[in-house]
Structure 1
């Protein structure tokens, strides 16, 4: 058992064993293997137990990272899991897909001192995977059942987090989703080599075991309007996320073979789950044997390029208008992609697409990075006379996501939205202008990280609880 922390002075940082790129290209398994217990304890003992834990400060969930690192170093894994899960509804998922290099690990004090960050994400994954294996992860059992019910629209990370917290408080929780599985982007958007699907399915079963009612293949606006759902429940939370793909208006953008990133990733994930996907079978959303160009520089673009590699693409190129240092995605993902054979075409942007019926190439121009804007990022400026052609049989647009038109989709014209199309809420209460209807996650803040959706879902649950407690108290006073 470890008796000391601060072992970074004599123990170097070490990730779990990483499978070789050549092997990874051939399957859909996760990149890193698990820690053995001894290694997890050793790596946890490197933590400096900072007086001001910058890792915790830069975690959207404010996870008590130094505490569960110390417990892990001491071999007290069940306690480490209890601390970890107290602030995080899905630590086994965050440990796998959070961009730790931009959040907790990127702000680790010993990383800044040149000793290399504590491998926080891998240890978080190890703690929770051990907890599942040992049977420590149990469905919440409320101290008392409440009569009040809450309907949650969207079974993605925000909706799941809110459902868990509300169920712990004893509310009757109903989770609605238009798709046939729980998870949202966790199940259909993120590839298995980052998040194996049985991990999500296990969490979905845990929700059902907790007594949360799952209503799948249920579409608001088709199976019930938002107002009808509001009449069934004491409160409703809108946690749909954002799914509308941003488009690129350029000559030739209507050619066959130019597809949206989420359509492409969903087809791949559904096929991996055993579903029949005609667009994958006929090659429309399958990169096998094709020259693939992905446009974009975020984590979704990295998911696309690495998926194309595994599908057997002849070549995979990522076209991004800024340089590597300015990429919004995880640098760890960029490194993994490069190892697997992806070619990055830095400082290049499309101006059009070539082809008669189907795309045969991307016409791009080179970019010069000019003066930095208010955020510190340099503005892209087109270099005159730099146009060139990149051959392509499949072009995937990974340009980000915008909100769908929820007032129309939900048959709820009174639902207020901002000029960006996100649902407008009072950020103190997370409630919309319609009493009893709350909103949280990407549908409020715009496309963001899974960990932020979890944070928003937990905050929304607390806000809904305050609303329902006050409502019940007012009714009790009125009845006297």
Structure 2
């Protein structure tokens, strides 16, 4: 083992410099600076190179984290990049947006021994950003071209990862998306202060340079039929994600300026991208408004922090459990608090009050009772605890459900689970339709970008096996 490792006793955990809250609240740029070469090497050298790498075990794509940390500590950065990208199609994106505190860093062995975790995510970001700067990131060049073709519905992280894996094997890959820009949630859902859009754009251009063809603004099930797309290719992958907002039907829900989170974030991202939007009206802009966001996940954190940057008068986040039980990343909660967001813990909305537009949210206090079958304490309303919170704009960040794809695609042969997700064979990842596969959130349910990448890589292997079997059978 390199003598440069196991420095966690002498060196403490450090993150890259973070811009002061009053500065970062003025724009949508990322809030963290990059590591210097020396700082990245120091943080990488803190790795204990443990025999059972729990960081790798708890990474959905099984990143070989100890090895690329050791290579970084020894200044062998190009090799570190090669190891990092071998299991992850978008390491610089995951380094920015993965909830490391719940995955790799949260499982770091040295943290269990009383030392703070290795700064894995920031080092991962540094490695790949440096690789881009040095020109080490190059388009996929298949060893040989195949005549077989694969269509992919959905240009989000899952669809893009599968496209690259299939192109690597030489397949002719065509990706379809209903939006006018590839990237899915990476482009339109995640704000720039977590993921600047040039990071996504350069990845998409890399895929185009590799020979992947994008068809954007295509309404499958509308102007273009699902059957037409299916007939064009030897196999088809559905990687649409889940976009239907879960709702909270309360008295007053019909009032104006009560919005689903993704609608709000999409328009804010379009505005940040400099794209004209007919919808970015006063109703969608938080400037000078009292904003209330309902929810406790990372999407809620994206909404509250976006509202701050739009110049909201006040931003409150309502969550029915306490801080310890919040599903969002601890890091994101901390960033939001620094930026002036007020968290109203143990609070449950009862009704919305207003004339044409919302004016107040009526909220009751919550007590956490006994745990249910899942182990989580059940929220219980405290009697006679209702209060009114001023609100000119309410954003519901309650999670996402799958759209009704059999209806949307006019293809009743697609089977769905009781949750509305597409049903697939757990081994082959094929739907009930021959040659039609599915992966990512549309199968798993709303989850993390890194899980979409993992599922997509697995689906690409299954699609390859399917096409090879058919070729052998036809020979």
Smaller-chain TM-score range?
over 0.9
Deviation readout 1:15-43 (Å, 9 max, x if unpaired): 11111111111111111100000110111
Matched with 2:192 is 192
Matched with 1:92 is 92
The answer to whether the Cα contact below 8 Å between 1:150 and 1:234 also exists between their aligned partners in 2 is: yes
2:116 pairs with 1:152: no
Matched with 1:231 is 231
Offset, 1:111: 1.2
Partners in 1 of 2:427 and 2:437 — Cα distance?
Answer: 11
Matches within 5 A, 1:51-130: 51-130=51-130
Deviation readout 1:433-469 (Å, 9 max, x if unpaired): 1100000000001000000001011010011011111
For 1:278, what is the secondary structure of its paired residue? coil
Deviation readout 1:85-128 (Å, 9 max, x if unpaired): 00000001000000001100011011111210000000000000
Matched with 1:315 is 314
Offset, 1:159: 0.3
Offset, 1:3: 3.7
Matches within 5 A, 1:66-465: 66-280=66-280, 282-465=281-464
For 2:8, what is the secondary structure of its paired residue? helix
Partners in 1 of 2:298 and 2:330 — Cα distance?
Answer: 9
For 1:279, what is the secondary structure of its paired residue? coil
For 1:9, what is the secondary structure of its paired residue? coil
Offset, 1:279: 2.1
Gaps of 5+ in 1: none
The answer to whether the Cα contact below 8 Å between 1:349 and 1:366 also exists between their aligned partners in 2 is: yes
The answer to whether the Cα contact below 8 Å between 1:261 and 1:301 also exists between their aligned partners in 2 is: yes
Partners in 2 of 1:123 and 1:158 — Cα distance?
Answer: 23
- Runs of 4+ aligned structure 1 residues displaced above 3 Å come to none
2:472 pairs with 1:473: yes
For 1:101, what is the secondary structure of its paired residue? helix
Deviation readout 1:256-303 (Å, 9 max, x if unpaired): 0101100100010001111111221x2111100100000000000000
Partners in 2 of 1:423 and 1:204 — Cα distance?
Answer: 26
Partners in 2 of 1:149 and 1:462 — Cα distance?
Answer: 14
Offset, 1:67: 0.4
Partners in 1 of 2:223 and 2:326 — Cα distance?
Answer: 41
Partners in 1 of 2:141 and 2:125 — Cα distance?
Answer: 24
The answer to whether the Cα contact below 8 Å between 1:225 and 1:412 also exists between their aligned partners in 2 is: no
Partners in 1 of 2:277 and 2:169 — Cα distance?
Answer: 40
Offset, 1:420: 1.2
Partners in 2 of 1:224 and 1:55 — Cα distance?
Answer: 44
Deviation readout 1:367-392 (Å, 9 max, x if unpaired): 10011123321111111111111110
Deviation readout 1:227-259 (Å, 9 max, x if unpaired): 211110000000000000011110000100101
For 2:100, what is the secondary structure of its paired residue? coil
Partners in 1 of 2:199 and 2:4 — Cα distance?
Answer: 33
The answer to whether the Cα contact below 8 Å between 1:364 and 1:389 also exists between their aligned partners in 2 is: yes
For 1:360, what is the secondary structure of its paired residue? strand
The answer to whether the Cα contact below 8 Å between 1:3 and 1:74 also exists between their aligned partners in 2 is: no
Taking structure 1 as the reference length, the TM-score comes to 0.98
Partners in 2 of 1:114 and 1:374 — Cα distance?
Answer: 32
Offset, 1:224: 2.2
Gaps of 5+ in 2: none
CA RMSD of aligned residues (A): 0.8
Matched with 2:28 is 28
For 2:350, what is the secondary structure of its paired residue? strand
Deviation readout 1:294-321 (Å, 9 max, x if unpaired): 0000000000000000000000000000
Partners in 2 of 1:230 and 1:237 — Cα distance?
Answer: 9
Partners in 2 of 1:380 and 1:358 — Cα distance?
Answer: 29
Taking structure 2 as the reference length, the TM-score comes to 0.99
2:17 pairs with 1:17: yes
Partners in 1 of 2:112 and 2:334 — Cα distance?
Answer: 21
Partners in 2 of 1:194 and 1:375 — Cα distance?
Answer: 31
For 1:23, what is the secondary structure of its paired residue? helix
